[in-house]
């Protein structure tokens, strides 16, 4: 309720609006992200494409990279929590993530697939999702989150996607989830049968989104494997970007009892230069003054996660490097630089008493360092 506004004494009090004086506002330079230029906190984006084109493949691959903090298709990535509502095919999501998360080094990746179809038309979905997300954020020490609803139609509780009121309510609840949990909410959806350039259903949905990406097959591609392009159609708070190419592959997992080969599908993000000439954003991977502190925090988190699984075990430097997150992405392609960066961060943590060094490697300190109390002279 605004000041001096006459109110009905029987009505419930209205919350005061948040007011910002425009001259006091300063835009963020270092804007938070999960995947830079693609998935940003407190936004709702949609990935739409035709059936069978690879929507879930692409989104599952993006989420796998976020859960590990590994760069994705030439874009910087920050490690974060992933909560994936596999409303259409949860096992299919797990199969598509498996090739990217099967390594033991990924055992602690915070990537969770929820079985069942939540109802985005129900206002109660907001506190339910928020409660689960906040618990997992604390458990895995994550600040940012990617929450996926796949597919949007399965999460409408039977409501008509052609109605503006339906899509407005669903995206509105998704936006509340994004704002309250500091998440990027990703809606996986189909394109229209007669128009592959827009999402299926009410045209009002596009205006309610912060980002819209259309998945299309790549033309004039000589690759023997299927290639698709994720085409940005709307990026409300980011500068225009080019398409991201993906190669859709099959990963061999073994032979069944009849001797037939069994494989699972997955997507690999390619460098954009393979299909489109893009200028890299200036200083995307610039090493900042606080990079050393960020790397210490990253390895402290890594060793904490490992200690939950094997509390008494010491881990070697290569094992720790494999599990390190986004703080080391700028040196990950250079083995010698990565080795030195890991060594410096571990040395700092040992000096601070947060990590123990042994003959077989390093582990999180079983007893936290004591904090010295200030000494006071008696009167």
**At residue 40, what are phi and psi to the nearest 5 degrees?**
-120, 145
Beta-bridge mates of residue 213: 47, 232
Whether the pTM exceeds 0.85: the reply is no
pLDDT at residue 131, as a whole number: 97
- Which CATH code of 1.10.3720.10, 3.40.50.360, 3.40.50.300, 2.60.120.10 fits the domain covering 43-274? 3.40.50.300
Across the chain, the runs of DSSP E, i.e. the strands, are 43-49, 81-86, 111-115, 145-150, 183-190, 211-217, 226-235, 244-255, 261-269, 355-358, 361-364
> In the chain, where are the structural domains located?
43-274, 291-364
211 within 8 A of 45, measured Cβ to Cβ: yes
pLDDT at residue 28, as a whole number: 85
Assign 72 to helix, strand or coil: strand
pLDDT at residue 111, as a whole number: 98
356 within 8 A of 362, measured Cβ to Cβ: yes
Which residues, 6 or more positions from 119, have their beta carbon under 8 angstroms from its beta carbon? 125, 155, 156, 157
pLDDT digits over 63-107, tens only?
999 999 999 988 999 999 999 999 999 999 999 999 999 988 888
pLDDT digits over 232-248, tens only?
999 988 777 788 899 99
Across 156-309, the runs of DSSP E, i.e. the strands, are 183-190, 211-217, 226-235, 244-255, 261-269
Q: How far is CA 258 from the centre of its chain?
A: 39
pLDDT at residue 377, as a whole number: 44
Assign 75 to helix, strand or coil: strand
Q: 55-68 and 90-101 are packed helices; what angle lies between their axes, rounded to 10 degrees?
A: 50
Which residues, 6 or more positions from 107, have their beta carbon under 8 angstroms from its beta carbon? 309
CA–CA gap between residue 61 and residue 98 (Å, rounded) = 10
Q: How far is CA 54 from the centre of its chain?
A: 18
Q: Which of the residues in the chain have pLDDT under 50?
A: 1-7, 276-289, 371-379
């Amino acid at each position: 309720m605004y000041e001096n506004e006459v109110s009905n004494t029987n009505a419930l009090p209205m919350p005061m609006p948040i007011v910002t004086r425009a001259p006091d506002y300063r835009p963020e330079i270092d804007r938070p992200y999960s995947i830079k230029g693609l998935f940003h906190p407190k936004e709702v984006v949609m990935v739409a494409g035709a059936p069978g084109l690879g929507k879930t493949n692409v989104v599952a691959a993006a989420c796998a990279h976020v859960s590990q903090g590994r760069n994705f298709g030439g874009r910087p990535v920050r490690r974060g929590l992933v909560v994936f509502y596999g409303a259409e095919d949860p096992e299919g999501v797990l199969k598509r993530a498996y090739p990217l998360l099967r390594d033991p080094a990924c055992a602690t990746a915070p990537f969770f697939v929820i079985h069942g179809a939540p109802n985005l038309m129900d206002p109660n979905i907001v506190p339910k999702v928020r409660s689960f997300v906040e618990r997992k954020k604390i458990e895995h020490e994550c600040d940012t989150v990617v929450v996926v609803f796949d597919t949007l139609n399965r999460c409408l509780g039977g409501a008509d996607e052609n109605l503006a009121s339906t899509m407005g309510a669903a995206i509105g609840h998704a936006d509340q989830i994004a704002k309250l949990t500091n998440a990027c909410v990703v809606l996986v959806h189909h394109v229209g049968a007669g128009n592959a350039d827009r999402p299926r259903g009410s045209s009002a949905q596009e205006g309610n989104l912060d980002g819209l990406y259309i998945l299309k097959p790549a033309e004039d591609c000589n690759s023997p494997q299927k290639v698709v392009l994720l085409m940005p159609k709307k990026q409300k708070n980011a500068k225009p970007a080019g398409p991201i190419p993906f190669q859709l592959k099959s990963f061999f997992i073994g032979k069944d009892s009849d001797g037939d080969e069994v494989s699972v599908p997955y997507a690999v993000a390619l460098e954009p230069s393979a299909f489109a000439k893009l200028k890299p954003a200036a200083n995307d991977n610039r090493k900042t003054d606080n990079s050393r502190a960020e790397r210490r925090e990253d390895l402290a988190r890594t060793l904490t996660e490992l200690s939950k699984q094997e509390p008494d075990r010491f881990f070697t430097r290569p094992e720790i490097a494999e599990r390190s997150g986004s703080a080391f992405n700028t040196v990950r392609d250079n083995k010698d630089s990565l080795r030195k960066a890991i060594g410096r961060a571990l040395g700092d943590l040992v000096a601070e008493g947060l990590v123990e060094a042994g003959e077989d490697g390093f582990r999180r300190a079983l007893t936290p360092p004591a904090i010295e109390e200030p000494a006071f002279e008696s009167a």
